[in-house]
Amino acid sequence: MSDATIDKDKDLINNDIITNFEKALEIPGSFNYAFDSLKHMGRILSSDQQLRIYTWNIPYQDGTHKYYGYLQYITDKKDQPAVFKLNDQSEKITNPAEAVLNIRNWYGALYYDVITVRDRENKYYTLLGFDFNDIFSSKKMIDILYFNDHNEPVFGKPVFQQEGKLVTRIIFEFSARVSMNLRYHKEKDMIIHDHLSPSRPSLTGKFQFYGPDMSYDGYKFEEGIWKVHKDIDIRNLTY
């Protein structure tokens, strides 16, 4: 699919990928299989060894992208994991910072890290993801995934501090011509990211002109909340 140049061909090839990959995930033992020959697919494993996430994207000729993914989740390590297909509905989600979503209306992204955290009652998987968005801007995000009492996946929960309130996920948008660091650092037990600013004050709110300004902020999980920490000192950190 990565070699295809026509959108229709990409979609047809992707349909075959979905059919075959879904069959593969149903095979006993697939949870522990590396799938390391799939160079164009993201594969991450949670630290509790209960969750695997697979994500990939189709880049279209108009600069937009469609995301695809699967979850494998083990509720009992002796059982075959449950398999969940993710359906990207990003274009229809008008207020993602407030939305609580599920596998049928997923805010699509390429996940590259998962951080397992707990409060007094629950376990959450905090996801770091990337979205190519379009030709003008890219996005990175911090999302929450947890499994409800019926072991169904839920994306989003108001546990992120942002501008004096709690939101369900954090989305950073910035110029497609620059890169943004968003990583979890074990040394500080914190998600640290580049602070983004417009290239000129008059461009405030026009995110295609935003980029890192050489300062850093972060989020630390405290009292069941990902709390904001401003102006993080990243000296001596491996970034």
pLDDT at 120: 83
pLDDT in tens, the chain (239 residues): 889 999 999 999 999 999 999 999 999 999 999 999 998 999 999 999 999 999 999 999 999 999 999 999 998 656 789 999 999 999 999 999 999 999 999 999 999 999 999 988 889 999 999 999 999 999 999 999 999 999 999 999 999 999 889 999 999 999 999 999 999 999 899 999 999 999 999 999 999 999 999 999 999 999 999 999 999 988 767 65
Q: Is the sign of the CA dihedral 212, 166, 107, 220 positive or negative?
A: positive
Backbone torsions φ then ψ of 106, nearest 5 degrees:
-90, 140
SS3 at position 108? coil
Give pLDDT, residue 238. 65
Instruction: Give the pLDDT of residue 77.
Output: 59
The pLDDT assigned to 235 comes to: 77
Residue position matching structure tokens 């996005």: 139
Q: What is the pTM of this model?
A: 0.95
Q: CA 83, CA 34: separation in Å to the nearest integer?
A: 16
Rounded Cα distance, 161 and 167, in Å: 7
Contact status, residue 65 vs residue 130, Cβ threshold 8 Å: no
Structure tokens at 150: 């019926």
Question: CA gyration radius for the chain?
Answer: 18
CA nearest to 152, candidates 222, 65, 85? 85
**Burial call 68-100: b when 16+ CB within 10 Å, e when fewer:** bbbbbbbeeeeeebebbebebebeebeebbebe
